Structure 1
Amino acid sequence: MASTALSAPLHLITSPDYIPAPRSAQGNESDLAPLRLTRRGKFVIIGLPIFLISVVALMLLGVFLSPANASDVNPVGVDALSVTVIEGDTLWGLAREFAPQLEPRDAVQQIGDLNNLNSSVLQPGAELFVPIGS
């Protein structure tokens, strides 16, 4: 029958009387070869910081140069009033009250477009832009 011997790597074997050699006895630091980078390493060392700085700069430009979206400003190119909805108001009623010269169906459509409404149900207290017609 064959016998198999297993041994542990030398760096794992420790004894109570083991004392590591002093740093100066292991080798002189001037004996070490200089660090050499591959093309990929140079790209990472140089390109990654440039990329990160560019991303941060573009984000800051986007924050400071983006237009403000204020909700109380009238939409561009449309004469409209800002109206607060009270209980019982309907789109049809608002269209007939504030834009009597417009066809009510067209006024209701414009109110929906101006305010990005998905439903004809109005919540009391909501601010709506209502076209006044021209």
Structure 2
Amino acid sequence: MANTAFSAPLHLVISEDYTPAPQSALASQPALAPLRLTRRGKFVLIALPIFLVSAAVLMLLGLFQSPANASDDTPLGVEAVTVTVIEGDTLWGIAREFAPQLEPREAVRRIGDMNNLNSSVLHPGAELFVPTGS
């Protein structure tokens, strides 16, 4: 059978003839021993801040190294017009209408590259960049 220890609450009773020690008596007591850390205390005091700082540095590096999101601006170095897709439009038709100086297959490829298109399906209301220069 397991031993169980019960503890009773501690009640301090101060007698009426008690007088606290004077401050000069407390000052003359020997100094306390220096603080000593346990393994857990050393971990919390040293390793945890190092971990938190390194996590913050990695988050900042990830923030600055992440690829840029697509923007609404025309890609740099390419002359292009913005075309709003209407129902019934196709890439081939847009390429022939807005980039007549280019061969239609090349124009369709460039439109796909400039707009990060994964398929030839166009949705009405979408805006596409169409290259106008060669």
Identity, in percent, stands at 64
Cα separation, 2, equivalents of 1:119 and 1:19: 77
Alpha-carbon shift at residue 93 of structure 1 (Å): 0.7
CA displacement 1:64-104 (0-9 Å, x = unmatched): 89786463211122221111111111100110111111110
Map 1:1-134 onto structure 2 (within 5 A).
6=1, 8-11=3-6, 18-20=8-10, 22=12, 34-38=35-39, 41-56=41-56, 59=59, 69=69, 71-134=71-134
Runs (5+) with no aligned partner, structure 2: 13-30
CA displacement 1:8-38 (0-9 Å, x = unmatched): 3223xx7xxx44365xxxxxxx999943333
Cα separation, 2, equivalents of 1:21 and 1:68: 68
TM-score using structure 1 length: 0.65
**AA of the residue aligned to 1:10:** A
**AA of the residue aligned to 1:121:** V
SS at match of 1:10: coil
**AA of the residue aligned to 1:110:** R
Cα separation, 2, equivalents of 1:10 and 1:120: 78
Q: Which has the higher helix share?
A: 1
Equivalenced residues, count? 116
Alpha-carbon shift at residue 133 of structure 1 (Å): 2.5
Instruction: Give yes or no for contact 1:84–1:126 (8 Å, CA) kept in 2.
Output: yes
Across the aligned residues of Structure 1 and Structure 2, the Cα RMSD in angstroms comes to: 3.4
Instruction: Give yes or no for contact 1:74–1:129 (8 Å, CA) kept in 2.
Output: yes
Instruction: Give yes or no for contact 1:72–1:82 (8 Å, CA) kept in 2.
Output: no
Runs (5+) with no aligned partner, structure 1: 1-5, 23-29
**AA of the residue aligned to 1:90:** T
CA displacement 1:25-70 (0-9 Å, x = unmatched): xxxxx999943333x7524422322432453366457658978646
TM-score using structure 2 length: 0.65
